[in-house]
Amino acid sequence: MSELCAVKAHVLRYWEQEFTQLSPVKRRGNRRYYQHHEVLLIRRIRELLYEEGFTISGARQRLEHEAGVAPEPAPAAAKPALDISGLRAEITAILKILG
């Protein structure tokens, strides 16, 4: 997971304490299993902290605000809901990492 999201394992564990939305399933041996929405959340947290310069508390507030705001309805002639080629590229990249 740390390779996929470009975040070290100890940072992920710290974020689990700071961001209540991030709660992976823990299995035998304390291994953490992240669901798709949690992977997206980790990427968003990383973006807020590392690229946009937010503090932990600022990022937490931004995520809470984003969760509370309903997305705008898409116009009738919007692009398809699934970008198959992008999805395929992302899956291929993940498979290479898992190797």
Instruction: Give the whole-number percent of the chain exceeding pLDDT 70.
Output: 82
Give the pLDDT confidence of 54-80 residue by residue, as tens digits.
999 999 999 888 887 655 555 555 555
Give the pLDDT confidence of 14-26 residue by residue, as tens digits.
998 999 888 888 8
| Mean pLDDT, residues 24-51 taken together | 88
- Going along the chain from its start, the domains and CATH numbers come out as 2-71+80-98 (1.10.1660.10)
Cα distance from N-terminal residue to C-terminal residue, the chain: 13
Location of structure tokens 């970008």: 83
Check residues 89 and 49 and name the one with the higher pLDDT.
49
Question: Nearest CA to 43 among 73, 63, 68?
Answer: 63
3-state secondary structure 12-61: HHHHHHHCCCCCCEEEHHHEEECCHHHHHHHHHHHHHHHHCCCCHHHHHH
**Predicted TM-score (pTM) above 0.75:** no
